[in-house]
Each structure stands twice: as structure tokens, then as C-alpha cells.
Amino acid sequence: MLTIKQITENTDAVIRGLEKKHFKNAKETIDQVIAFNDKRRSTQSILDNNLSEVNSISKSIGQLMKEGKKEEAETAKSRVAELKEVNKTLQTEMDQAAEDMQNLLYTIPNVPYDEVPEGVGAEDNVVEKMGGMETELPKDALPHWELTKKYDLIDFDLGVKITGAGFPVYKGKGAQLQRALINFFLDEARKAGYLEIMPPTVVNAASGYGTGQLPDKEGQMYHCEVDDLYLIPTAEVPVTNIYRDVILEEKQLPIKNCAYTQCFRREAGSYGKDVRGLNRLHEFSKVELVRIDKPEHSRQSHKEMLDHVEGLLQKLELPYRILRLCGGDMSFTAALCFDFEVYSEAQKRWLEVSSVSNFDTYQANRLKCRYRSGEKKTELCHTLNGSALALPRIVAALLENNQTPEGIRIPKALVPYTGFEMID
């Protein structure tokens, strides 16, 4: 959530940033926030003056009674009663202005950094880097949904029977490969200094608001209505909320956490080749990195996270590219975001496997996540996160890009985790 200070001191820059994200009616919305804030402040000022007058008059009443000035004392009492009634109205108006402002702020996305390119959608993202190994496949190469059937690795039809579309059942070496990737990603995160967290996979509404999934993505989250709980779309939500309403000491930063969870997303898109098989699911596994940092160090943290994800893809021997997202393709909460995509040789298309984002103070302001600096004053932290990695499309690319006439080759880095070198 944008801070009032950010909006009032840099109004034009905030509006320009929101327009870069193609937020509709940016100027009108920001003007309305400022109007609510002005109303809240002016009402607070009148209320403070009235309260001061009430205190002053109340103190004088006793003295007037002692001096026998009963009539003046009664007049003073009437004035106090009158002011108290006025103050009730003022308090109601001030609370309403504050609530209206807060509700409106929840609907406003984060402002992108200056280096975020202009653009409307994915076609306007900028390719920053390409890397990895080129792949040569047999002429009769199969997409992963055919390979999983051929080698009995994943049963999509069984998932439909048990639950519905988008909930696959992993079997045999398919399940072992999935578990191997989870352990590999977690071990690599631990080596990089991340503390592993095992959080709940359901959260309350306060957690959803804290990281910005609510109200923006409410329709995309599974909602347990009886208990008013939400299935998480990413471990970012519970892990970042560990630091909600917390004041950290400067020496604790940066905080580096990682977590493996199942993730749940209602909106799986339309049917077709782009969402077939593992390309888009309602339930999937993911290892997430979360950092809490000081503002002056968050860009360095962001770079370290990007390097970490790139290193994972290199060890998995996958062809990849890194995209700097344009304003129109960035998430609601991000100030700067890079996507990682791996190339599926069999599908002849790029598959997104990670987004690594810096949220600046946007989430921290919602969370009231602060740190105490050397001068003992508190400041908002910066929050960052990134997938390291989301498994479905990694599995798809590994199966497709490593198929041979003899079977599917396992990358060397994964063999200690799978216990086998080939799927045959």
C-alpha cells in the first residue's frame, strides 16, 4: 500500500507511475485519497482544539464553584456538554474519512521504479539475458503430456476423477522427480543462507491483505467460507506475514527465508495447448524465497535473488531467458520484477517458471513491518520474493528437453536426489 507521505510529497510522480501500470483513473483516484486525507486532518485539528477547550473549561468549573460563581460554572458545564456532542460527530466524520481513505488505498497498485519499461503486456517485456544449453531432440519428440503417459509419470485423468481438471496425480518416478526437485531447491536455498520455514497453507484475510492478494486477487484464491480462510496461492503470503506488526532490529536485516508449499489458484485460464498438461494448474508445488531488508540494500538483495534463480536453471541444464517486465505486465504489488522462462523444445515455446520481485515499502506498509535504525527511529522495511522454483513447468521442460530414444535423461545435479539417471 502506498504511504500518504509518498502520495502527498510526490503526487505527480505517483500518478505517472500508476499510469505506467495502466491503472485507470490514476489522477482522480489519487486526488480522492488526498481529499480524504485533508478531511481527516482538518477534522482531527478541530477535534484536538475542541478537546483542549473541554479540558481547559473542565478544570475551571471546580474553581468557579469554589468562588461561588455558580451561574458561570453552569454555563461552563453547558459548553462542555455542547462540545462533547460536537466531538462525537467530528470523531465519526474523521473515522469515516480514514476508513474511506484506507479502503481506497487498498485498490491502488504499487508504483513501478523508473527503470521499468513502458508497455501494455507480455509482448512489451524486455529480454535482459539468455542462457543455458541448446537442445536437440529426436524428430519424433513428444510434449510432456504424452511423455508422462508413455512413462506412467503423471495421471491427469485420475486427477480429474479425484478432484477435477488442474489437479494431477504424480506416480512412481514422476513423484520421485517432483520430490527430488523440491529437496534440491531447498538445499540450494539453505546453502545460500536462507532459513527454511514450513508455514500453513491456509491463511486468514489479514494475511491476504498484508501481502496484497486481497482485495486484488480475491477471485483467484480458494476461499473456505465457513472459517473465512484462504488457500495460499504462494508461500509468499504466510512467510511474509510472519513479520506483520513486527519491529525488527537493523542488525537482523536482511532476513532470508525459504519455504516449500503446495499452492492453489482458482483461475487456470482457458483450455488449449498453452494450458495443457502441466502448463497451468489449480494446485502445484513451489519453493519460494522471501527477503525482508533495509531500503538501501534491497536492490542488492534483488540482484542476489536473481543470481540464485539463474544458478538453479544453469544446474538443471535448461535453456532460459530473463525478462524485465513492463509496467502493464507487472503484478499489482511489485515495483520491479524479472521473470525467468525456460524453453520447451517440444512445445516450441517459453514457459514462465519464476518471478523475482522487489515490492519496496508497499507490502511493508500494509504489514506494518518496520525496523529500528541506529537513531532508534522506526522505518518501513522493503520486502522481496521470488520463486526458486515453481515445479510444474520445470518438470515439463526437463521431460521434454531431455528425451532421448533410450528414455528421459536426468540432469547430473538431480541424480543424487532422484537416485536414477534415466526414466525409461
Which residue numbers belong to the known binding site for ATP?
A: 265-267, 352-355
Collapsing DSSP states into helix, strand and coil, what is residue 355? strand
Task: Establish whether the linkage from the previous residue to 319 is cis, with ω within 30° of 0.
Answer: no
Distance CA 386, CA 286 (A): 10
Q: Pull the grid cell for residue 193.
A: 543462507
3-state secondary structure of 221: coil
- How many alpha carbons lie under 13 Å from residue 37 in its C-beta half-sphere? 16
Residue 219 exposed, middle or buried by CB count within 10 Å (0-12, 13-18, 19+): exposed
Q: How far is residue 309's CA from residue 288's CA, in Å, rounded to a whole number?
A: 11
Q: What is the DSSP string of 14-59?
A: HHHHHHHTT-TTHHHHHHHHHHHHHHHHHHHHHHHHHHHHHHHHHH
Neighbour tally for 170: CB within 10 Å: 19
Distance CA 261, CA 391 (A): 11
Annotated binding site: 234, 265-267, 288, 352-355, 385
d(C-alpha 290, C-alpha 414), whole Å = 24
Nearest in space to 313 (alpha carbons), one of 389, 234, 421, 412: 389
Calculate ∠ Cα 112-114-120, nearest 5°: 60
Distances (CA, A) of 136 to 168, 345, 389, 418: 28, 8, 24, 24
- The Cα–Cα gap between 243 and 270 comes to 36
Residues annotated in a binding site for L-serine: 234, 265, 288, 385
Closest CA to 144 of 317, 277, 283: 277
In the structure grid, which three cell numbers stand for residue 61, read together? 468549573
First-to-last CA distance in the chain? 51
Q: How far apart are CA 390 and CA 261, in angstroms?
A: 10
Q: Which of 91, 111, 101 lies closest to 17, judged by CA?
A: 111
